Structure 1
Amino acid sequence: MARIAFIGLGRMGAGMAARLLAAGHEIVVHNRTSERGDALLAAGARWGNTPAEAATEADAVFVMVSDDDASRAVWLGPDGVLAHARQQAFAIECSTLSHSWVLELADACRAAGLRYLDCPVTGLPDAAAAGRLTLLVGATDDDLAAARDVLAPLADQIVHFGGVGTGTAYKLMVNLIGAVQIASVAEGLALAERVGLDLDQFAAVLATGQAASPQVVRNARRMAADAHDDVVFAGRLRRKDVDYARRLATELGAPAPFGRVAHDLLDDLIANGLGDLNESAIVELFRRPTDGRWPTTAEPAPDWALTQA
């Protein structure tokens, strides 16, 4: 069994760390707010006061945090992982981050003698707790092969896209597509409500049709029920992912006009104080009285559908 550091015990990280602990690994955990680790400590994990302390003796370091800034602090801060990590330990970054930061971080880890795996995940918190995630891996063939034993308890599917950065590129595209789908569902459901359709029936029939996807079905049901307080994925985090995806599109010279629309809507969601609710709360923007014009508080550029801002 391996010695594993797990840093970041939010909705996803806590379930993932619990899976690794249940698989018999020796786990040291760290989180900015220590109470998030209480259940894991009761189950046999140990606590690290800093990321560096958690990682000191680890064979593998997993990180699952919110964004680039949090990841940078965990890995490169004065009490960060790279200050004390063991040579040849696995650095396994599971957070959804910008592509440019992932490449920079991979270089820093390699320079410190660590084996870096780009490993964002897909799946909801219940899948994390059950070990049913899909891992989206960018790594060398050798590093992935050597890390499979520590990855196995987390997932029922490990997809290897290629070298470092490819897993993150795929994850950003998926989350961009998801944002566009959610915005389109909100628009359609608000129209259905205005025309007088039963929203539960609308969501149920939508789930059986050609427009259905897990993202569409889940969010249509939440929107119909106004179930935004039980947060699975906050609008603020979706906005961050869309921002990272659009940055990558800009770097590649690729247009992403629908991504811009979703980004504007998520900005408006946050501006209206709804960013910490479940992302399905975006439907509330379409429920506001309008004159048929663009529903967000920020006016788009006239050429919004054709250019990348």
Structure 2
Amino acid sequence: MAKIGFLGAGNMGNGMALRLLEAGHTVQVYNRTQSKLAPLVGRGAIAKNSAREAAESAEAIFAMVGDDIASQAVWLGDEGALAATNSSNKPLIIECSTLSHSWVMELSRNVADRGLQYIDCPVTGLPEAALSGALTLFLGGSKSVISMAQDYLRPISSKQIHFGEIGAGTAYKLVVNLMGSIQIAATAEALLVAERAGLDLNMVAEALGTGGSGSPQVANNSKLMVAGDHETNVVFSSNWRLKDTRYGVDFAGQLGQASLLGTVAQELFQRLVDAGFADSAESKIIDVLRVQSDK
């Protein structure tokens, strides 16, 4: 089995690192908030004080962090993971975070300049899927490198989709997340119309989630919107939804494709975050639309 460096022990990273441990790998893990490492250390992971330390002597290095800034922090600089690479330590770099396309391409070039292989590997699935090894991987990179990485990728995934070269996995992730943001905003608007029409909102949520316009986003968020509970067991916060929407809109713009609906969704999530609900569930967007309708 291999020695793996793992950067990030949040809701998703924790489960992914645990799966690698259960597969028999040695996992050296770093997280900015050290207290979050306790559950993994209890299962055999080795806590490290920096990303560089976590990368020492590793055969593969995973990252699962929140955004471009966090990714830059764990990879670059004197204490970043890439500082641990040298002629005798050439780990495979596997970046699983949802990041901007421009940063993914810059990071991959930095990795290539060091003579290392890079896999563009954003994931989809809830924390429960991370814990059970049931994530879907959106892959970009060389087929041969991805094949070589299967001892690391199989333990965390039940499905893998190879979209093309480096950057293609992130391109798809940004597209599908932008679509999700639009769906969430549209669901909120639909429920408010149904509410004014006097319909049973629990029945509406059930019908929306299973009907022709249904999707996991619609099904999950419509129920949360009807319940009005946006603070308990938050799986995906408004702040992260705003980040993903912004990255998606920016990527579309870089390609010369205006994202009209995405821009509206971004504005709505921005209002939600600006109102002090960054840590609330993304479903709370319904309250932004409700206030707007009442004006």
TM-score by length of 1: 0.92
Give the AA of the match of 2:130. Answer: A
Moved more, 82-91 or 184-193: 82-91
In the other structure, the counterpart of 1:198 is 200
Give the AA of the match of 1:16. Answer: M
RMSD: 1.2
* Alignment partners' CA distance in 2, 1:72 and 1:124: 24
Report the Cα offset of residue 289 of structure 1: 5.8
In the other structure, the counterpart of 1:269 is 272
The structure 2 residue matched to 1:234, chosen from 228, 237, 242, is 237
In the other structure, the counterpart of 1:82 is 82
- The answer to whether residue 210 in structure 2 is matched with residue 189 in structure 1 is no
* Alignment partners' CA distance in 2, 1:270 and 1:284: 12
In the other structure, the counterpart of 1:60 is 60
The structure 2 residue matched to 1:139, chosen from 121, 138, 141, is 141
Give the AA of the match of 2:257. Answer: A
In the other structure, the counterpart of 1:172 is 174
In the other structure, the counterpart of 1:3 is 3
* Alignment partners' CA distance in 2, 1:46 and 1:58: 12
In the other structure, the counterpart of 1:254 is 257
Moved more, 7-16 or 241-250: 241-250
Give the AA of the match of 2:170. Answer: T
- Equivalence map 1:28-67=2 (5 Å): 28-67=28-67
SS in 1 for 2:162: strand
* Alignment partners' CA distance in 1, 2:196 and 2:221: 18
* Alignment partners' CA distance in 1, 2:85 and 2:36: 23
* Alignment partners' CA distance in 1, 2:98 and 2:36: 20
* Alignment partners' CA distance in 2, 1:173 and 1:290: 29
* Alignment partners' CA distance in 1, 2:40 and 2:292: 47
SS in 2 for 1:287: helix
In the other structure, the counterpart of 1:72 is 72
In the other structure, the counterpart of 1:283 is 286
* Alignment partners' CA distance in 2, 1:258 and 1:207: 21
Report the Cα offset of residue 227 of structure 1: 2.4
Q: Which runs of 5+ in 2 are unaligned?
A: none
The structure 2 residue matched to 1:108, chosen from 88, 100, 110, is 110
TM-score by length of 2: 0.96
SS in 2 for 1:244: helix
Report the Cα offset of residue 135 of structure 1: 0.5
* Alignment partners' CA distance in 1, 2:6 and 2:240: 21
The percent identity for this pair of structures is: 48
- The answer to whether residue 49 in structure 2 is matched with residue 13 in structure 1 is no
* Alignment partners' CA distance in 2, 1:123 and 1:207: 18
Give the AA of the match of 2:31. Answer: N
SS in 1 for 2:39: helix
Moved more, 194-203 or 207-216: 194-203
Give the AA of the match of 1:277. Answer: S
SS in 1 for 2:170: helix
* Alignment partners' CA distance in 2, 1:52 and 1:113: 17
Report the Cα offset of residue 237 of structure 1: 0.6
Give the AA of the match of 2:258. Answer: P
* Alignment partners' CA distance in 1, 2:39 and 2:234: 20
* Alignment partners' CA distance in 1, 2:191 and 2:90: 51
Report the Cα offset of residue 184 of structure 1: 0.2
In the other structure, the counterpart of 1:213 is 215
Report the Cα offset of residue 61 of structure 1: 0.3
Q: How many residues matched?
A: 292
Report the Cα offset of residue 88 of structure 1: 3.0
* Alignment partners' CA distance in 1, 2:101 and 2:5: 24
* Alignment partners' CA distance in 1, 2:210 and 2:97: 32
Runs of 4+ that moved beyond 4 A: none
* Alignment partners' CA distance in 2, 1:225 and 1:33: 32
Moved more, 240-249 or 95-104: 240-249
* Alignment partners' CA distance in 2, 1:291 and 1:208: 29
Give the AA of the match of 2:68. Answer: D
SS in 2 for 1:207: helix
